[in-house]
Amino acid sequence: AQKVTQAQTEISVVEKEDVTLDCVYETRDTTYYLFWYKQPPSGELVFLIRRNSFDEQNEISGRYSWNFQKSTSSFNFTITASQVVDSAVYFCAPTLGYNDMRFGAGTRLTVKP
């Protein structure tokens, strides 16, 4: 079955700590895309990053970085020096199959001051 797993349901850290959110997926596809979204308390999902399956180069954007390992079907997300404003639910979402962006269950991150 094609699916995505975010094993960490909730994570709590203290401000300025680094935190990594895990994402593992299963797919039969050779070409696919991977996304991360952030859902703050307001409810709207905010796009963070898109990667395609041919590009395994890790990416850094400010305090955010992503580690894509095709061999292990993982696409992990790290926040460096976390801030209270990073508190949200984070979703990993690979496109698995036609018309199917499959969302993980999400990881609720709480950053305490």
Partner 1 sequence: ETGVTQTPRHLVMGMTNKKSLKCEQHLGHNAMYWYKQSAKKPLELMFVYSLEERVENNSVPSRFSPECPNSSHLFLHLHTLQPEDSALYLCASSQAPPPAGGYGYTFGSGTRLTVV
Least distance in angstroms from the C-beta of 17 to partner 1: 26
Residue whose C-alpha is closest to residue 76's, from 5, 1, 2: 5
| CB 28, min distance to partner 1, A | 13
Q: Is 44 in the site for partner 1 (CB under 8 A)?
A: yes
Query: In terms of Cα–Cα distance, which of 84, 85, 83, 106 is closest to 35?
Result: 106
| 52: contact with partner 1 by CB under 8 A | yes
Which residues make Cβ contacts (< 8 Å) with residue 43, sequence separation at least 6? none
50 touches partner 1 (CB under 8 A)? yes
Question: Applying CB under 8 A, does 20 fall inside the site for partner 1?
Answer: no
* Binding footprint of partner 1, residue count (CB under 8 A): 25
Instruction: Using the minimum distance from each CB to partner 1, give the nearer residue, 82 or 93.
Output: 93
Beta strands in 1-113 (DSSP E): 3-5, 10-14, 19-21, 24-26, 33-39, 46-52, 59-61, 64-69, 74-79, 88-94, 107-112
Comparing CB distances to partner 1, the nearer of 12 and 97 is 97
Q: Is 64 in the site for partner 1 (CB under 8 A)?
A: no
Whether 49 and 64 have beta carbons less than 8 Å apart is answered as: yes
Residues in contact with partner 1 by the rule CB under 8 A:
29, 31-33, 35, 37, 42-47, 50, 52, 91, 95, 97-101, 103-106
